[in-house]
Structures are given as C-alpha cells and as structure tokens.
Amino acid sequence: MPYRVRKPSTAWQPGIWRALICLVAFPIAVGQAQQPNPPAPAGHGSYTAVHAAKGRRLTADHSKFKVLQGPFKDSDGPAVTRACLTCHTKAAEQVMATSHWTWNVAKEGKDGYGKSTHLVNNYCISIIGGNTESCARCHAGYGFKDKSFDFSKQENVDCLVCHDTTGDYEKEKGGWPNPGVPLAEVAQKVGAPSNRNCGVCHFFGGGGDATKHGDLDDTILKAPRAEDVHMSKQGAGMDCVDCHASDAHKVGGPNYVLPADRREHPKYPGETVSRMSCAACHTDSPHKSYVLNRHYQKVACQTCHIPAFARGTLPTNTYWDWATAGRLKNGRGYKEEDANGYEAYNSIHGEMIWQRNVKPTYVWYNGNLKFTRLTDTVTIPADGKIVLNPAEGSYSDPNAKIWPFKFHDATQPYDTALNRFVAPYTAGPKGSGAYWGDWNWDVAIKMGMETAGLPYSGKHSFVKTTMLWPITHMVAPKEQALSCVECHSQNGRLANVPGFYLLGRDRGTGIDKIGIGMVLLTLLGVGIHGYIRYTNVRH
Amino acid sequence: MRRVVLYEMFERLWHWAQAIMIILMMLTGFEIRGLGVHLLGFQRAVSLHNILAVALVTLIIFAIFWHVTTGEWRQYIPTRKFLREMVAFYLTGIFKGAPHPVKKHRMAKLNPLQRVAYLGFKVLIIPVQVTTGALYYFYPNLQHALGWSPSSLWGIAIIHVLGAFGLVAFLIGHVYLTTTGHTPLTNIKAMITGWEDLQDDAYFEES
C-alpha cells in the first residue's frame, strides 16, 4: 500500500462547502501536481517515498553516456573503470585511500590491522596464508590474488560492486566480474549504493550468509519491521549509506578503528558527518521518561533496543572448532547436520554451532576493540581462552557504555614456540598442500606462513579463542525493547557487568537479612506482647 | 470523662496521607528491590515511588509549617517525666490491667515514649530516607559533577534500604501500640474522627 493515500474527491458536497473546499484545495492540488514525488513524510518514513526522492535528485542518466555504451569484453572490469574515470577523475584515487581498497588499517600508530595484512580472526582465521584469491571476491578491486597485487593501479578499482543498481553484477575469484555479467548494461545503470551492494559482502562475512556478524544478513533485504526498524521496507526503508555516510568515498563507521571524533553535528556547513550514533538522528534524550533518558550516559541504545541478534530466518555461527576439523570417512571429508538442519560438523571447518535469536553478551565498550595480529605475541590466560579483540572501557571511562556483543568462540591453531597465531593455507585442491585438499595441518600452516612471509617454528597446537562483534544493526521496534527487569534483577542480562551498583541486581551482602531480621524481631516482640495481653484479659 | 478534639483536621489529613504514601512507597520500594512484591511492574513501581517521594516531601513541608505556626512542635519535646513509668506500664502494668500512667491532655497528647519515637521518626528516619533517596535519584548527575566513585552508590543504597526496613518495623510497632488504648480501637478512632474521650480521672494516678 502506498504511504500516502489521496483523500476521496469532495466534489459531490453541495453549496458553500464545495466552493470553500475548491478554493482551498485547488492551489494545494496544483502544488502537488507540479511535484511528482512528494517529499518523505516525517516520522517512520516510507521506502517508496524515500527512494522516489533519492531517484529525483540524480542529475545524470548514465545510459546516455557514449563511453558507457560498450561493448565491454567479458569480465573486463578495468575497461569499465577506465570509462568511469573519464568523468569521475578523482574517484579511484579516493577509493584507494580507504580500507575498502587497502584491506589494511593502522591503529594507534601500528600498522597491519587488516585482512590483507596481519589481522587475525577466529572464523576463517586469515586470508594471507594463500587464500587471498577466493576471499578477494569481496575486494573492491580487480585481480587481487596474492601480495603481488598492485594497489596503485587506478583501473583495478571496482566501481560497479558498490554502484550497481541492477543486481546482475557478480564477482568471482580475484574479484573479477563473472563472465556472464552484461557490463555495459550494468555500467549504464549505476547509482548510489543500496543495501544489496553493501550486503553482497557484508552479509556474507565469515564465508556465508549471516555467519560472522550476527546482526547483518541477507534477510535484512526483505526484513519485516520487527527484524530491523531502520532497513525494513515496512519500517523506515533506510539504506546502509543513510547512516554510513561517505566523505569522498570514505564510508563512515569502520569497526577496526574507533571514530576518533564522535561529533554528531557538522563543524562547518557542508561537512559530511557520519551518522554513526543513534543520537545523531534520535537526539540523546528520545524517551518521554527522564529516568530512561538518563540511561544514555552509561547504556548504549543498542543494549535495550536490540533484544537479540540473528532475528531473521538465518542462524549465525557462534562456535567454530578448527581443532576437530579433518575427520574423514573413507578418506573423504563429510558434513553432519544438527536437529535444526544447521551444519554441526564439516571436515573442512570442524564442529560448529549455529544459533538464531541469540541474546547478546554485554560489556563496557568505549569504541575501541584491541585486535590481535599474526605478528603479536600472545599469552594464554588462566581460563585457557584468548580474547582476540577485548573491548576497552569501564564504568569510570566517560566514553564507555554497556554494549551488546556477539561473542564468537572457537579453537584455532597457533605456534606453540613463538606464541603467535598462524595463517594456514586452507582453500586448495588435493596435492596443493592446502588443508582442505590434503588434511595436514603441519603442511598447511607451514605453507601458509611461508606465503604470508611470517616465521613459523614448525610446532602448532590449538587454543580456545573468543572474538567480540559489536551488535548495532537489527534494531527492534520500540515495543520489543527490553523491559527494566531484564537487567534490573538478579541473574539478569547484566549479571556479569562489573564496576558499579545496579538497582535490583546488587544487594549488599546480608542487608536484606538484617532488614528482614529487624522486621521479624519487631513482629515477634509485638506478637508476644499481644499474646500476653490477650491471655491476661481472658483471665 | 471529657470528649475533646485531640487531632485537628490538618493533623489527621497529614497523618493518613503520610501513612498511605509510606505504605505505597514500601510496596513499590520492595518491588523495585526484588523482594517478592509484584504489583505494578518495575517501571511503574519506579515511577510511582519517585512521584510519591516528591508528594511526601511536599506534604512534610506543609506539616513542618503547620507544626511551627501552631506551636504543636512542642508536643515532641522529649521528656523524662513518667518515662520510667511508661516503660514499666508496657512491660508489666498493661498485662495486669493497670491504669495508663500518663494523662492525655490537649497540649500534651503524646506520652514520653511516643515523643521519643515520633521525634526519632521525624528527625532521623524520614530525613535519612529523603536524603538518601534524593542522592540515589540524582546520583548520575552528582557523580558526574562531583567526581564521586561509582561504588559510593552502594553505601547510599544500603542506608536507604535499611531505613526502609526500619520504617516497616516502625509501622508494625506503631500499629500494634494503637491497640493499647482504652479499647483496642480507641486510638485509631480518635485519629480518624479527631475526637477522643479523655478518661483522665480514671486513668490518672500520681505515682
């Protein structure tokens, strides 16, 4: 149903009313006629209205440009990029300055926090041990297959993956376009990135739909309002880029580096401010209740407004046990499903747990996750589990809030002599030395570390790890926000969040006992006194 | 036997309003603390508790004004006169049907034990609850402004909770002692109607 329904004609109304209504309505009707796409109404917005408005703002019809008429050779992405660059002369340069291109980030003065460098995770672990080519399907470029890739070649920037509006664009190994993609047609219909463009990679992190993030998966494209009030077409109908606003192709809101500046208003007219905080649109006091608004100081909006993640129809991976990979039947890998039909075992991955509607884990977080690199020496803590990216923050940290996280548990290989994580070569055919071909960790790790150019002692073992994924998408309608007692109770959601007194959770040892004792003693005294009085009166 | 107005209209309104508010604050308070009361739900309990707090403080301000302007505050001046006799009465005399040792009078309607108890209630328990309650409510602001440690709220909360239990104990004792009048309901009736039959001749004995 369209958002605005025209009121029925009032022409049959008689006399003076008709005249009056015509007088008033006529100019309004004319005004509307001149404006074919009415602006989006305030409030919840409307997918149709918002996107009509976005379409109206376009000033170029790319199908009219000669340079985009083609024909382009199959998979010849660079030819399309060269065409784009004839008008958008600085676009490639801009993209090449971003982590979408470099797959690398410097953090606190240290380099190497990226996929193409030394960042380690506990899903596919790392791409640099020889797995780059297949993983580069998600690189915003063409031809990234190993470290020989030329990161300075402008024509290798992939414009289409973000700007395709047809949905026909697909990337293959090394990031090359699928040979079946009609490049000229796609190039003539470019536009602003939609959720599908971002989702084609970001929904599929960890190697499959919904696997990695927990709050991002393909179901968002067709989500009911209850799954995501912002991105649902029945909700606000927003696009990713409405919040992740870009400045010269630099998309706001990367997870690896804390946005150094959390200002929510532009410093000067025209400055693009990434709307990465809820308050940028909702203000910092959106509730009617003063007490609820005050929670903003210490509790992230997400904590109450995202009661669970993976609320679509897809499960997210919560446990990945590399140590159990490699069980074979008749020399071949196999798969097993759990009761829900989710993959409980796969020889190439090990045992796995997949879950839907998962309650987040809550920790203090000031925006900084302290990631681990393959080059970092790690120590195994007493509980035997290494947290790969502990969240920084505490109650006393003025920038920290209680945040919901997906905690992803795993076991993964590490170098027992050097105490570093390793990047195994996993994806390759039989005889290549890759783990999925030859089922030999020693060889796979040795080859992986050689390819990565990193030292390996030759001795490995598996260690338990946890990784934290901040939950911020899949915001639920307000009716589904957590009730107070979800946290303000004993054994509630915040049972293990330290450093402060929480009403309803914390009691002070023995205070209730002292109080109840006081009341009981009074009752006892009163009872005895009354009993003696009563029996004496009867005498 | 004389029939006199012992409690003025304002005094009775104040007393009963205060009683209702304190009982509601107890119930909501214990619901908030999670002590097995489930009446309104946490959020509404918190709202009502906070609203009642403001209402009660307002009422207390009126009551202080009334006490000062009428001179009734003198009723609460502690005295040792008949104190020992009152204690003895509650410990033994009352069981033997002994007469009440203190004569009620319009200008001295509280016995020495009541004076101490109510004065304690007014200058100790209520101020402690009001102060800790206000500190509790404004803790985030105060902590921010004054740089208090997050753990200070522990102390404030514990005192507030102990004070609340104290109020419950007070209420129990208070209600029980109303039954020690001429008949069990004499005192409560007086607090409702204002009128009490002062049986001064029969009850008053010099000792």
Split at pLDDT 50, 70, 90, the class of B102 is confident
Please tell me the distance in Å from B116's CA to the nearest CA on chain A: 17
| Beta-ladder partners of B108 | B105
| Helix (H) / strand (E) containing A160 | helix A160-163
Q: Which of A482, A526, A535, A537 to mutate to test the interface with B (most CBs of B within 10 A)?
A: A526
Split at pLDDT 50, 70, 90, the class of B111 is confident
Is the preceding peptide bond at A71 cis, omega within 30 degrees of 0?
yes
What ipTM did this prediction achieve? 0.87
Please tell me the distance in Å from A228's CA to the nearest CA on chain B: 25
Q: Do B176 and A507 touch (CB under 8 A)?
A: no
Provide mean pLDDT across the span A102-109.
Answer: 90
Would an 8 Å CB–CB cutoff place B71 in contact with chain A? no
pLDDT at B198 over 80: no
Mean pLDDT of chain A: 88
Whether A293 contacts A286, CB under 8 Å: yes
Split at pLDDT 50, 70, 90, the class of B200 is low
DSSP A219-255: GGGG--TTT-TTTSTTTT---HHHHS-EETTEES--S
Whether A124 contacts A205, CB under 8 Å: no
DSSP state of A136: G
What is the pLDDT, as a whole number, of residue A21? 46
Q: Among the listed ranges A51-60, A88-97, A199-208, which one has the minimum average pLDDT value?
A: A51-60
What is the pLDDT, as a whole number, of residue B137? 93
What is the pLDDT, as a whole number, of residue A528? 93
Would an 8 Å CB–CB cutoff place B39 in contact with chain A? no
Give residues with Cβ within 8 angstroms of B179, minimum separation 6: A530, B185, B187
Would an 8 Å CB–CB cutoff place A504 in contact with chain B? yes
Please tell me the distance in Å from B109's CA to the nearest CA on chain A: 23
* Size of chain B, expressed as the number of residues it contains: 207
Q: Do B150 and A395 touch (CB under 8 A)?
A: yes
Distance CA A283, CA A303 (A): 17
Would an 8 Å CB–CB cutoff place A532 in contact with chain B? yes
Q: What is the pLDDT of residues A184-195, one digit of tens each?
A: 999 999 999 999
Q: Among the listed ranges A118-127, A255-264, A474-483, which one has the minimum average pLDDT value?
A: A255-264
Provide mean pLDDT across the span A29-33.
Answer: 39
What is the pLDDT, as a whole number, of residue A538? 63
| Beta-ladder partners of A107 | A110
Q: Among the listed ranges A78-92, A122-136, A242-256, which one has the minimum average pLDDT value?
A: A242-256
Give residues with Cβ within 8 angstroms of A194, minimum separation 6: A165, A239, A240
Region of residue A207 (left: phi > 0; alpha: psi -120 to 50; beta: else): left
Q: What is the pLDDT of residues A428-464, one digit of tens each?
A: 999 999 999 999 999 999 999 999 999 999 999 999 9
Q: Among the listed ranges A111-115, A256-260, A313-317, which one has the minimum average pLDDT value?
A: A256-260
Split at pLDDT 50, 70, 90, the class of A263 is low
Q: How crowded is residue A398: how many other Cβ atoms within 10 Å of its Cβ? A: 11
What is the pLDDT, as a whole number, of residue A448? 97
Tell me which residue has tokens 């690896």. A256
CA torsion sign, B176 to B178 to B182 to B184?
Answer: negative
Q: What six digits make up the tokens of A191?
A: 């536009």
pLDDT at A53 over 90: no
Please tell me the distance in Å from A284's CA to the nearest CA on chain B: 15
* Size of chain A, expressed as the number of residues it contains: 539
Judging contacts by C-beta atoms under 8 Å, the chain B residues touching residue A482 are: none
Region of residue A216 (left: phi > 0; alpha: psi -120 to 50; beta: else): beta
| Helix (H) / strand (E) containing A385 | strand A385-387
Q: Do B165 and A518 touch (CB under 8 A)?
A: yes
Whether B69 contacts B111, CB under 8 Å: no
pLDDT at A526 over 60: yes
Judging contacts by C-beta atoms under 8 Å, the chain A residues touching residue B158 are: 508, 511
What is the pLDDT, as a whole number, of residue A52? 84
| Helix (H) / strand (E) containing B64 | helix B42-70
Beta strands A401-415 and A316-321: pairing type? parallel
Beta strands A385-387 and A250-251: pairing type? unpaired
Please tell me the distance in Å from B173's CA to the nearest CA on chain A: 7
Rounded to the nearest 5 percent, the helix, strand and coil shares of chain A are: 30, 15, 55
Alpha helix positions (H), B100-194: 112-120, 126-137, 139-146, 152-177, 186-193
Q: What is the pLDDT of residues B17-54, one digit of tens each?
A: 999 999 999 999 999 998 888 899 999 999 999 999 99
Split at pLDDT 50, 70, 90, the class of A27 is very low
Interface of B with A in 105-144 (CB under 8 A): 140, 144
Q: What is the pLDDT of residues A347-394, one digit of tens each?
A: 999 999 999 999 999 999 988 999 999 999 999 999 999 999 999 999
DSSP A62-124: GGG-GGGS-PPPTT-HHHHHHHHHHHSTTHHHHHHTSHHHH----BTTB---STTTTB--SSS
Q: What six digits make up the tokens of B150?
A: 């997050």
Would an 8 Å CB–CB cutoff place A396 in contact with chain B? yes
pLDDT at B61 over 60: yes
Q: Which of B162, B178, B182, B183 to mutate to test the interface with A (most CBs of A within 10 A)?
A: B162
Distance CA A192, CA A203 (A): 18
Distance CA A474, CA B198 (A): 72
Closest CA to A457 of A467, A471, A479, A442: A442
Split at pLDDT 50, 70, 90, the class of A257 is low
DSSP A172-214: -GGGPBPTTS-HHHHHHT--S--HHHHHHHHTSGGGSTTSSSS
Tell me which residue has tokens 């669970």. A308
Residue predicted with more confidence, A279 or A202? A202
Q: Do A511 and B34 touch (CB under 8 A)?
A: no
Please tell me the distance in Å from B115's CA to the nearest CA on chain A: 19
What is the pLDDT, as a whole number, of residue B1? 63
Beta strands A335-337 and A343-346: pairing type? antiparallel
Q: How crowded is residue A218: how many other Cβ atoms within 10 Å of its Cβ? A: 19
Interface of A with B in 291-320 (CB under 8 A): 291, 294, 297-298
Rg (CA), chain B: 20
Provide mean pLDDT across the span B81-104.
Answer: 83
pLDDT at A260 over 50: no
Q: How many helices (H) and strands (E) does chain A have?
A: 16, 11
Task: Determine the distance from the C-alpha atom of residue B83 to the mean position of all C-alpha atoms in its chain, rounded to a whole number.
Answer: 20
Interface of A with B in 249-278 (CB under 8 A): none
Residue A28 Cα distances to A33, A52, A62, A461, angstroms? 9, 20, 34, 74
What is the pLDDT, as a whole number, of residue A28? 40
Whether A173 contacts A209, CB under 8 Å: no
Q: How crowded is residue A399: how many other Cβ atoms within 10 Å of its Cβ? A: 12
Distance CA B10, CA B23 (A): 20
Of B34, B35, B157, the CB nearest to A508: B157
Would an 8 Å CB–CB cutoff place A523 in contact with chain B? yes
Distance CA A284, CA A291 (A): 13
Distance CA A315, CA A342 (A): 8
Distance CA A175, CA A161 (A): 10
pLDDT at A35 over 50: no
Provide mean pLDDT across the span A63-78.
Answer: 95
Provide mean pLDDT across the span A221-249.
Answer: 92
Q: How crowded is residue A178: how many other Cβ atoms within 10 Å of its Cβ? A: 13
